[in-house]
Chains A and B, each alone.
Chain A
Amino acid sequence: MSTGQSLSRKLALVLLLWVCAFTLPWTIQASLCVVLIIARYAVLPLRPITPRSAKAFSRFILYSIAVATFIILLNGLLIKEGAVAAKVFGIPLHKEGLLFGARTASRLLLLSFSILLFFVSTSLPDLIEHLQTKGLPPYLALVLLLTLHFLDQLPARIHQIFLAQQARGAPVDSGLLSRTKALFSILSPLVLSSIVESIERGTALELRGFLQRPQVARVIKRSESETDWLTISLILLALAVLIYRIVQWLIA
């Protein structure tokens, strides 16, 4: 399976899940969230590609539990409709509110998990490369890649600056006020030199002919659009869900 194919399938899956998030009942959405969490471990192409993204996913599971709990409880508390369904520490929670909360939370989490699952299982440079074959302008692709490069370099830069300022007596290891000042003396060179350097880099790009001739800017072998049945069925399924929902709504 080519990277492009796997990416198209995942994008189609995200589309389907987003359609579900706005159409299906919340119980199905909540179960889909659980399915997604299981899929992260069970389905090979959906596994996180780096330890960092695996950690991000685990962290988000915890975060999502907290968000869901808060959304459900707060709405149960604040929307005073329907019978009192439960009492927490003597505070009454209403049925309609809890249901509203559950609907909101499952929708939010389904949307979020589908995005996150897509990103943790995808290498960003690969994604950008793929999007470029699908017509993403080269300068946008370059901006995204450069951003990743900057983020990559940032810790080392900060360390260098930290050393240089420390050597000039910046009080990095005492009191809160002076630490704030020291923070300033580290962030300023970072921003200043990064801006200066980024403009120099831009000049270097121009000097290597980037965007000189927009019409031939990048000769990318456009991948032959092979028909991938899984991608197509996912998209069709999304359409079906949408149509079903619209019909249901028209009848009602």
Chain B
Amino acid sequence: MSIELRNVSFSYAGDRPVLRDVSFSAEQGGFLLIIGQNGVGKSTLLKLLNGILKPTSGQVLVNGVNTATQPTSRLAKEICVTFQNPADQIFASTIRAEVEFGPRNLRRKNVDQLVDDALVLCGLDALASHHPYDLPSAQRKLLTVASAIASGAPYLAFDEPSAGLSQIERSVFEGLLTALKKEDRGMIVVSHDLALLLPYATAVLILARGEMIYYGNAEVVTQQDGLIRKAGLRLPLPYRLEKLFGK
């Protein structure tokens, strides 16, 4: 059981390729962190995962099924992709109704249970009857995470899930990462937030100008500064200080 990309390239009609020859596989219980500069093709990669976009060449396999042959509504049962902007998806007037949307669409059997668990994991259970737009934006972000968890999909993919989170939500987020690992869910996360996510990553993929310049274990990233630089990124300040002290 895995999500696998085999030599995937993608270009929007007639344009130059956004992604070139990307291959990786994400396992259940694993955490793949995808890093790279803005506009490097990370969001395109996410859209390939659930078949919203189909690869120009190569294959995307979700649990062995080629995405080219399946509609997104079917693939959404296996992998739930959440985009960056909560405003793109929030439509209900209560938190609970919002979180219910996914599992109901996917016809899960135990909707109430899924929703309750997700709300508790994201620390939103006490706010279930509130209007999403009455929450601070950081909690609205967690709401989209709760929606994804409640979908019941074995794989979850996120675009910058920790952007704008403060310490309160960050500790909630770390808690749910641990819980999801225990549930054997697979995570694929696109993020700049190395400080928060690098410790949880089981694999890291670095993209630069549409190409995969590194795919492998996470420790190497903090040790080889050049790798990060090559992607046009910088390590968080504490990591850099650590190096400074090491010398």
Contact = CB atoms under 8 A, between A and B. Distances in A.
Direct contact between the two chains A and B in their complex (CB within 8 A): yes
A170 B105 contact: yes
A163 B102 contact: no
Interface in B67-94: 71-73, 76-77, 80-83, 85, 87-92
A163 B52 contact: yes
Interface stretch (A1-9, A126-134, A190-198): A190-198
Contacts of A197: 87
Interface string B115-131: 00000000000000000
A161 B106 CA distance: 18
A165 interface: yes
B9 interface: no
Interface in A160-191: 160-161, 163-174, 184-185, 188-189
Contact of B77 (A169, A188, A189): A169
Contacts of A167: 50, 52, 72, 76, 80-83
A216 B90 CA distance: 40
B90 A163 contact: no
B164 to A, nearest CB: 15
Interface string A118-130: 0000000000000
Nearest to B71: A173
Interface residues of A, number: 22
B200 interface: no
B24 interface: no
Given A166-B73, A168-B151, A185-B101, A193 B90 contact: yes
Contacts of B101: 168, 170, 185
A166 B52 contact: yes
A173 B52 CA distance: 12
Given A163-B83, A164-B83, A169 B91 contact: no
Contacts of A168: 76, 80, 89, 101-102, 105, 147, 151
A170 B31 CA distance: 26
Given A166-B52, A167-B76, A168-B147, A161 B89 contact: yes
B47 interface: yes
B133 interface: yes
A173 B75 CA distance: 13
Given A166-B73, A167-B82, A168-B76, A189 B90 contact: yes
A192 B133 contact: yes
Contacts of B83: 160, 163-164, 167
A172 B50 CA distance: 14
B95 to A, nearest CB: 14
Most chain A beta-carbon contacts within 10 A, residue among B50, B89, B102, B106? B89
Contact of A189 (B50, B71, B82, B91): B91
Contacts of A170: 73, 101, 105
Given A169-B105, A169-B151, A192-B133, A164 B88 contact: yes
Interface of B: 47, 50, 52, 71-73, 76-77, 80-83, 85, 87-92, 101-102, 105-106, 133, 147, 151
10 nearest A-B residue pairs (beta carbon): A188-B91, A193-B87, A169-B105, A169-B76, A164-B88, A164-B89, A189-B91, A167-B81, A169-B106, A168-B102
Given A168-B101, A196-B87, 14 more contacts: A163-B47, A163-B88, A164-B85, A165-B89, A167-B80, A169-B106, A170-B101, A170-B105, A171-B73, A185-B91, A189-B87, A189-B90, A192-B90, A197-B87
6 contacts: A163-B52, A164-B83, A164-B85, A166-B72, A167-B83, A189-B88
